[in-house]
Structure 1
């Protein structure tokens, strides 16, 4: 009986020693960011193209392109942060270069802005 109790005590110590606390990521990029534009396809028809980035707290995310009501492109991405600069690496899109940008706050919106100055998306 003493051997069983000793074994259980050792197991309990090992299991509690291996538990670690998961860090909470409260980065301001976490959430949904989008860009929408309307293209004229003919004299009577217009199409809305929406791009959407969903950033999560484990440095991953999902990118969608939606034309009208149909998802035309969907892929996962990894994101990283160095200082105040963010980088997206798209997975599954080999010919797509990494995007590098910063979060910029204006009077009306919070924007993702590429390093060269072009706006990428606004926070929803």
Structure 2
């Protein structure tokens, strides 16, 4: 009877593997002109993991200017990111779109969000 209890509890505690294609590093980068002449490269980076959490970075040049954790979810092919600890940053809703160059993340309004690294 004890063996049956061990087998039963072991089967109930399995963690479902998440192999969503969003898992990995996605980024957006651009160049900002500061003061009319100097340029600065701004990179936004989202790192999605398999337990529906992630890390967001904003990197300006070589300096990390913003770093926070986020929670992500997926419902009917629409992804949602909720940032933790940043009340002034809104929740983002987007979808993954396949292109000839690869997969991109596109906001619901059609604007580009990020490309997979």
Tell me how far apart the structure 1 counterparts of residues 51 and 26 of structure 2 sit (CA, whole Å): 17
Alignment equivalent of 2:67, drawn from 74, 81, 99: 74
Q: Normalised by the size of structure 1, how large is the TM-score?
A: 0.85
Unpaired segments ≥5 residues, structure 2: none
Alignment equivalent of 2:9, drawn from 3, 12, 18: 18
Equivalent position of 2:48 in the other structure: 55
Post-superposition offset of 1:14? 4.7
- Once the two structures are superposed, residues 1-54 of structure 1 have per-residue CA deviations (whole angstroms, 9 ceiling, x without a partner) of xxxxxxxx84x6655433222111000110000000001113542100000000
1:1-124 alignment runs, 5 A limit: 10=2, 14-19=5-10, 20-124=13-117
Equivalent position of 1:3 in the other structure: none
Unpaired segments ≥5 residues, structure 1: 1-8
Tell me how far apart the structure 2 counterparts of residues 109 and 119 of structure 1 sit (CA, whole Å): 13
Q: How many residue pairs end up in the alignment?
A: 115
Where does structure 1 differ by over 3 angstroms across 4 or more consecutive aligned residues? 12-17
Q: Normalised by the size of structure 2, how large is the TM-score?
A: 0.90
> Which structure has the larger Rg over C-alpha atoms?
1
Per the alignment, in what secondary structure is the counterpart of residue 93 of structure 2?
strand
Quick check: 39-48 or 98-107, which moved more?
Answer: 39-48
Measured on the aligned residues, the alpha-carbon RMSD in Å equals 1.5
